[in-house]
Structure 1
């Protein structure tokens, strides 16, 4: 639940709470915001006046319902700010810029197999500069970068064709901070995409779901009470290296039968070239179903969201494999959504998600846990004021 605090030290928290309430429920009146988040109408009025003056929310005249003047409604101003998302994969770099409503305004793509860190950050600097051209710097909320996971596991993070093999020892956060003049955010690709789903996709209707990320490899993230669950080292939900096939194919991590050896874009390209798509789907059907049941029994989500960067046609074919799932904790009679659903994010899921790392810090009602990947939390409203003071 969104709840503010009437203590003066809670002002930044309250600002984010008010923004999140407007994002979730707008158009919405000041009185309704106050009722929902437990602040006084005066406090909400002060905050919304600042946000309106800063250009982050817009006012809409209320509709007359009788005598008197109707209260105006507030909603997020899509053009009040922008954020960039960067996705680095073993196949190249994608970059995009979104507005506050999550609309992708522009994108850049570089296709290069196993790009080096030096080349990558040089390209990223140029891409970001091009994408935010025309935006005032104080309106650029930040730059989020997503990479394949898991993070900081010596035997997994930079080993095999689904990882950035030459990036071991690279301080991604510091390199990104040196490459762009904006607040920066770094996360694993599956968690970034889950962030985007929460802000711009099914998150408006679901509070608890598992996001199954189908990319070059296979990953996943758990959304619990509208937040990404991290685990002790920030890799919770990493499903790709669960060994589901006893004595199966050797994985680059050293184990046999890991799930991503069978269900991933790398596995798809490799096996379809050998046996064809239909035979591949038949081959992985029991493995995929076992993975869904494992997720359901471990995390008890409202649903499993099938997302990632795989083409939607391929994800639809995988969804058909879930028509006949084995029994699990999710086999409830009172379900309101299917056990597996397609993501709303489409092929741009990670770009939206990486950019949303910045946006979610602005809207987030709570500070990030200490074990989340490093970021540079900045408040665009404060930066806008600093600019005005300097002028």
Structure 2
């Protein structure tokens, strides 16, 4: 995303978001560096920085300088300057986290609801928001992001079967979430939210292009390039769990047979392991997952495949260990700087961090022309003229 300011007189709220987003992406950074990146004068940036400091969104410290004169201020986001809430709704229940501006989880709440009904869920989420609000010490609570199983708006696949939320069909999730909490609300598939969380705060921070394979109750994934999950034309890219892998295999709720997630997912483990035992399930699932990873590598040529999700860490570790050795693919090359497979560094928290990041990005990111004049709710408390 190209961040450039505007000299138009009604563009002041936009410029403030531009500067804030630049500090988020590139901090620690000096005022002159911000001005150069966004195309504004140093004085304009300095005035905006005063407002951001007053709001507590930005903090700075003097950098060491050997030459004469006052050393420049190096600016970063203040983690406690604002908060957002990330929510993950699954067929097993609700998880919610209060997340600070730096992406650190401050508090987590988990509610077992199997399966969660929309009315009950929104009521409980509203209650959790009030609990979290008390932990912010009066700081801004910017918004709430909710992650849930996809795909969305596909007649024969959405909200169908044990890996989705059947009672949520036709529910206006974002609108209901905003009504229940009084916050700006954002909704995304769980796999895309987890991929975003991993790119910002996990293993994906050190690679520019990776594929995130997400073990929810079902199985999904997302290719991430330069921190952005690739969502496809309709926003449903990554439903790898519904790729038919076993000819004439087990019937799937989507209407096909032999879909991958019927064999490799948390739902598959909970259904099969009590019958055949955990070691046998791993032996059954590993070859299919191995082939799926090779397919991902040949299709997307990622730097690495990151595996994570809500599956138990020990079980996921045993499954990943059983994948060795991987078959040949375009990723099987000399001189690799990253392994072909990596475990998630964010673990089960990736989806919560990613869901909260939806709210941070939705509220903080520049949206030129959408914030009329000085009526910008984000900066309503600023007293700087």
TM-score, normalised to structure 2, is 0.90
RMSD (Å) for aligned C-alpha atoms: 2.7
The answer to whether the aligner puts 1:166 opposite 2:167 as a matched pair is yes
Native 8 Å contact 1:361 1:377 kept in 2: no
**Partners of 1:356 and 1:100 in 2: CA distance:** 9
Alignment CA distance shift 1:361-1:69 (3 Å): same
Alignment CA distance shift 1:354-1:43 (3 Å): same
The residue aligned with 2:55 is 54
Native 8 Å contact 1:142 1:358 kept in 2: yes
The residue aligned with 1:371 is none
The residue aligned with 1:233 is 234
Measured after TM superposition, the shift of residue 35 of structure 1 is: 4.2
The residue aligned with 1:84 is 85
Alignment coverage as a number of residue pairs: 381
The answer to whether the aligner puts 1:200 opposite 2:201 as a matched pair is yes
SS in 2 for 1:213: strand
The residue aligned with 2:290 is 289
The residue aligned with 1:373 is none
**Partners of 1:204 and 1:30 in 2: CA distance:** 25
Query: Which stretch shifts more, 105-114 or 76-85?
Result: 105-114
TM-score, normalised to structure 1, is 0.89
1:95-125 residue CA offsets vs partner (Å, 9 max, x unmatched): 1111111111112221111121111111111
The residue aligned with 1:22 is 23
**Partners of 1:40 and 1:312 in 2: CA distance:** 50
Measured after TM superposition, the shift of residue 38 of structure 1 is: 5.1
**Partners of 2:24 and 2:359 in 1: CA distance:** 15
Native 8 Å contact 2:5 2:18 kept in 1: no
The answer to whether the aligner puts 1:181 opposite 2:175 as a matched pair is no
The residue aligned with 1:4 is 4
Query: Which stretch shifts more, 348-357 or 129-138?
Result: 129-138
SS in 1 for 2:106: strand
**Partners of 1:359 and 1:223 in 2: CA distance:** 19
**Partners of 2:378 and 2:3 in 1: CA distance:** 26
Q: How does 1:86-101 map to 2 (within 5 A)?
A: 86-101=87-102
**Partners of 1:111 and 1:187 in 2: CA distance:** 21
The residue aligned with 2:380 is 386
1:152-208 residue CA offsets vs partner (Å, 9 max, x unmatched): 122111211111111111111221121111111011111111121222223432222
**Partners of 1:386 and 1:363 in 2: CA distance:** 14
The residue aligned with 1:109 is 110
**Partners of 1:135 and 1:259 in 2: CA distance:** 42
**Partners of 1:316 and 1:25 in 2: CA distance:** 34
Alignment CA distance shift 1:334-1:12 (3 Å): farther
**Partners of 1:197 and 1:12 in 2: CA distance:** 30
Measured after TM superposition, the shift of residue 26 of structure 1 is: 2.6
The runs of 5 or more residues in structure 1 that have no matched partner are 368-375
Native 8 Å contact 1:86 1:354 kept in 2: yes
**Partners of 2:376 and 2:103 in 1: CA distance:** 22
Native 8 Å contact 2:200 2:227 kept in 1: no
SS in 1 for 2:19: helix
Native 8 Å contact 2:220 2:240 kept in 1: yes
**Partners of 1:17 and 1:296 in 2: CA distance:** 36
Q: How does 1:261-272 map to 2 (within 5 A)?
A: 261-272=262-273
SS in 2 for 1:120: helix
Native 8 Å contact 1:2 1:36 kept in 2: no
The residue aligned with 2:215 is 214
Native 8 Å contact 2:212 2:224 kept in 1: yes
**Partners of 1:330 and 1:152 in 2: CA distance:** 34
Native 8 Å contact 1:199 1:360 kept in 2: no
**Partners of 2:11 and 2:319 in 1: CA distance:** 46
Measured after TM superposition, the shift of residue 228 of structure 1 is: 1.9
